[in-house]
Structure 1
Amino acid sequence: MSLAHIDTARSAQAARLEQALNQAPAAPRIRAVPDGTQARGFVLYVGIDEAKAAAAGTSLGRIVEALKALTNELAPDAETHAAVALAPVGAGGRDVDVVRLALQDPAALARHRNETEDPDRAAGGVVVDISRKRVILDSETAALTYKEFELLQYLVLREGRTIERAELISSLWNASDEEDAPNERTIDVHVRRLRAKLGRYEDIVRTVRGVGYRFDRHADVSIRQSSTPSPDVF
């Protein structure tokens, strides 16, 4: 074969390669990845404690192994590493938020720092404003009734202690109330209505089965005591 024929064959091969590259679909861009960087993996935060896992008929270890097996099936070359998030027994807050904070998620740390140092800078979450008897959810005032706020405030001021229904009745209801004689069912109804108005933050009021209700310190909640001036929210 002459040199001319070799050069022609190489040129045709290069042309076909260039055409194939131009026709190949571009890899989808991950919006969270800034220009000049590349994605090397991802983190999946799973919020579930051992009790909830057991109630679902599984365990944290089995969930981890199942996720690893699925990853290996979808991408055999992927490397995995699992870390368990530890928190004090009885710590409040949504499980997934506790996990993010425990594992040093930058966004969770920044939010926690803002809420701790300057609650007014927090972009979202719950503000229980005792000084003005109101609750602010993600910068919007919640439409709680007087009794609903009193119920939440009673739990908040006794953080970490389980309050029996009988104590709530004796402390929050009296003979002058227009409602019929309250009972344990009355408390459950008010708690259900309160939780409905709290929306995605409903779990700040925890049920202690067979006993009553409790409020634990929660990453999403800021408390404004009556001694602290509370600015109006517009």
Structure 2
Amino acid sequence: MQLLEVSIRKAGYEEQYSVIHDIGFRLQEGELIGLIGPNGAGKSTTIKSILGLTKHMDGAIHFTGPTGNYAYIPEQPILYDSMTLWEHMELAASAYGLERESFLSRAEELLIQFRLSEVRHHLPSSFSKGMQQKIMLILGFLIRPDVYIVDEPFVGLDPKATKDFLDLLLLERKRGAGVLMSTHVLDTAERICDSFVLISDGRIVAQGTLDEVRAQCGLHDAPLFECFHSLT
């Protein structure tokens, strides 16, 4: 089942200047697409366009899953200084209309998984960067959406938290959720992604499975790292 269709002819933040051009792909049920590219390539603009956050966008974005719900997990944690971790979770549950019993069960599960049970009533302003990033992951996983849009999820996470994240992501994909993930951690991306969209200078330079990307850059059996550098 198709969950997301992206067809962006051009998009940017000023009417006369487009940052990205001709970005198109489809995300299927259970699929993990890696959005790969150097800094300034247009990855963030692509994600913002999908989320409806670019001021000028010519194209169409269709969330076509059973619920149409998606979760966005940003690279930089976005949290309220005056709200505790638990209050952030309650706010997210309320925004998505989660039933109280379902929320309590899922919330407890995630707090235990990410080892934040003891600080549920603490303010995130006192947390480390890694702990704040865990909160963003918890809020994303809380609602069990059709689509996860994840921007550089590994920044600030320790190895244990990274494994917890990847394990949960795998469970969600088995449930049928699709994932679009932007990352610079290419060895991990090569291991977990089903396919890739490589962007450079605002345009797609290669896309498809790793073997298809290898064929497009003429480097058979090369790791993603070498393909990335040959194309960008």
Query: If the TM-score is normalised by the length of the shorter chain, which range does it land in?
Result: under 0.3
Higher helix share: 1
- Relative contact order: is structure 1 or structure 2 higher (C-alpha 8 Å, sep ≥ 6)? 2
Give TM-score, length-normalised by structure 1: 0.25
Question: Could you tell me the TM-score, scaled by structure 2's length?
Answer: 0.25
Q: When you count strand as a share of all residues, which structure comes out higher?
A: 2
Structure number with bigger Rg: 1
